[in-house]
Structure 1
Amino acid sequence: MKMTKFADIKGFVFDLDGVITDTAQFHTKAWSKLADQLGVQWSTELQNGLKGLSRMDSLELILKTGNKENDYSQAEKEKLATQKNNLYLQFVQTITPADIFPGIKEFLDELNQHGYLMSIASASKNAPTVLDKLELTDYFEHVVDPKTLKRGKPDPEIFIKAAEIIGLKPEQCIGLEDATAGIAGINAANEVSLGVGSPDVLTEADMVFEDTNKITLANIEANMNK
């Protein structure tokens, strides 16, 4: 655990996919459909490798997996990425507030009640659309625009910007992530890292919650005081 005290925390930086809701299932469906079209064998290993990556980095990994990284021009790659995104957006239209992970809405309400600041640090350009479908836009006035970033996760840039847009230093924030690349980025930004998922996978996180219902201020404070 970092030396940061719970009393020093003023804000929370959230990844979206895998932390607030599972839009990862829609990304998986869209990427697997595109991979099939490209003649690239889809696998659990490839699926896991895409977690936390930007759209273009994900496409590059798929092409590399099929030894096709040199088969397309940059313009063609951008068209493929757009095609995948259009598929994803079709799937996203089906999402509702019922798809928010258990306990997360209650946690957001708790943060509001205690005056904590919140922002979104998602590699997805569609985060505002997803938040709107989940009816969570009012909680997150501050969303990092991935188009403004030079580097993707695990680089800390997105998490540093997510703190900046709510007027805080990174060390005043707790970052929530479900991917190892995201946890690495949070740690590199010098924020406290809260993993959502398996502790066997998120081994570098300062604390891990397998059950989103357990993510409460009291439980976070207890973890930081260990």
Structure 2
Amino acid sequence: MAKEIKGFIFDLDGVITDTAEYHYKSWQKLADEEDLFFDREVNEQLRGVSRMESMDIILDGQDVSDEQKKKWTDRKNEYYQVYLEEISKADILDDMEAKLNKLKAEGYKLAVGSSSRNARKVLKNLQITDIFDTIADGNSVENAKPAPDLFLHAAENLGLKPQECVVLEDAESGVEAALAANMKAVGVGPEGRVGKAHLVYADVDSIDFDEILKKL
């Protein structure tokens, strides 16, 4: 089976780096200013979800115009942009850079498949943009995860069929998107969140690509 795998598509946040705390602080700042309920539990529901969908989750049915929601999400993004300036190569999770370079040296095609519209900026600050053959982000497709569009777009740019790709994801919506795309899914995180994946690793450090290639 391993010979069928020709490429790997990586979610960015939670797999390559962890900007979750920056997202949390940005949403919390906006929520405090606008007197919206927000806490860690609500924040957990935003994992892998687009900015506007995140706003809807926070509003929890409150009647707010699209124009107002756009203003709020833009402001949240401004806060997030400031936090992003703090990111550097030191923020790459565990030995992920070494793992990426090994896969590339072995001839596998590599892509980023992230819902974030800031993915390119994050990768630039991490200094690993050139490792990837293509970057699919929140600007690439209209339908965000759990729709398969983002990963299908990445595979197309890699010149690969969906079944030739493995997706690494830390969000439930991302795992669902990978499965909907007819790709192999590797979940990174707790079973309760990513348990639908074909293989699950508790954290980035424990990811074993030799095992992935052997089992998938």
What's the TM-score, normalizing by structure 2? 0.95
**DSSP 3-state at the match of 2:23:** helix
Identity %: 39
Cross-structure match for 1:89: 81
In structure 2, distance between residues paired with 1:32 and 1:141: 35
In structure 2, distance between residues paired with 1:122 and 1:145: 5
**DSSP 3-state at the match of 2:49:** coil
Cross-structure match for 1:137: 129
1:77 lines up with 2:69 in the alignment: yes
Q: Is the 8 A contact 1:183 1:193 kept in 2?
A: yes
In structure 2, distance between residues paired with 1:154 and 1:93: 29
* Unaligned 5+ runs, structure 2: none
Q: Is the 8 A contact 1:196 1:212 kept in 2?
A: yes
In structure 2, distance between residues paired with 1:6 and 1:222: 6
**DSSP 3-state at the match of 1:13:** strand
**DSSP 3-state at the match of 1:218:** helix
Q: Is the 8 A contact 2:133 2:158 kept in 1?
A: no
1:63 lines up with 2:59 in the alignment: yes
In structure 1, distance between residues paired with 2:40 and 2:80: 19
What's the TM-score, normalizing by structure 1? 0.91
Q: Is the 8 A contact 1:119 1:162 kept in 2?
A: yes
Cross-structure match for 1:52: 48
Amino acid at match of 2:213: E
**DSSP 3-state at the match of 1:124:** coil
Amino acid at match of 1:139: I
Alpha-carbon distance, 1:141 to partner: 4.0
In structure 1, distance between residues paired with 2:215 and 2:90: 29
How many residue pairs get aligned? The number is 216
**DSSP 3-state at the match of 1:143:** strand
Amino acid at match of 1:202: V
Runs of 4+ aligned structure 1 residues displaced above 4 Å come to none
Amino acid at match of 2:156: E
Alpha-carbon distance, 1:89 to partner: 0.8
**Which whole-Å deviations, capped at 9, do the CAs of 1:67-100 have from their partners, x for residues lacking one?**
53x23x3222211111001100110100111111
In structure 1, distance between residues paired with 2:66 and 2:206: 44
From 180, 183, 189, give the equivalent of 2:175.
183
Distance 1:182 1:87, change over 3 A: same
184-193 or 140-149: bigger deviation: 140-149
From 53, 73, 94, give the equivalent of 1:102.
94
RMSD: 1.4
Alpha-carbon distance, 1:201 to partner: 2.6
Cross-structure match for 2:186: 194
